[in-house]
Amino acid sequence: MKVGLTNFGLVKYLIQQLSLSFSQRVNALQDYMPNALDEDWKVEIAGQRVQVIKNDPKKGGILQFGTEVVTSEDGTVAALLGASPGASTSVSIMLKLIKQCFPENFKGDWDVKLKQMIPSYGTKLENDNVLCYKLRTWTTETLQLDWKQPEI
């Protein structure tokens, strides 16, 4: 109960998300895909969110959302706590893990290789419409999706 009371903002957010109508969900999706239409989507039950409750000496239990990577100081041991990452977060979690466990390698050749493997690596796509368009076009063609890019 204390965790719920001290993390009221998160609890409120989760309740708001659960109470969204189908149209409200599509409207939120349109922030990322402006040409999304209600008739092109359906609701699927995909699983359950997991929150991590960490002990804090001052506040007691602290609710954390999602997944956390914990590593030893020397980077030789790492653990994933919380929810199993989905496709939307697993790459960023692994990049964080690599950076924490292999900081010297990460600065050199690995950084160059990661940029080859992940063309958007180190770039905020919201700030680069051209790269975003290029990646979406490639993804659409590769996955054989029926998607039309809105004009930039």
Q: What is the pLDDT of residues 99-150, one digit of tens each?
A: 888 888 877 788 888 888 888 888 888 889 899 889 888 888 998 988 776 6
pLDDT at 85: 65
Residue 61 has pLDDT above 80, yes or no: no
Residue 53 has pLDDT above 80, yes or no: no
Residue 24 has pLDDT above 90, yes or no: yes
Write down the mean pLDDT value for the chain: 82
Q: Residue 21 — pLDDT band, cuts 50, 70, 90?
A: very high
Structure tokens at 104: 């010297």
Q: Residue 95 — pLDDT band, cuts 50, 70, 90?
A: confident
Q: How far apart are CA 31 and CA 150, in angstroms?
A: 13
Structure tokens at 94: 């692994």
Distances (CA, A) of 66 to 36, 80, 130: 26, 10, 31
pLDDT at 44: 79
pTM of the full predicted structure?
A: 0.50
Q: What average pLDDT does the segment 36-61 reach?
A: 77
**pLDDT above 90 as % of the chain:** 7
pLDDT at 49: 59
Residue 45: which residues within 8 A CB-CB, separation 6 or more? none
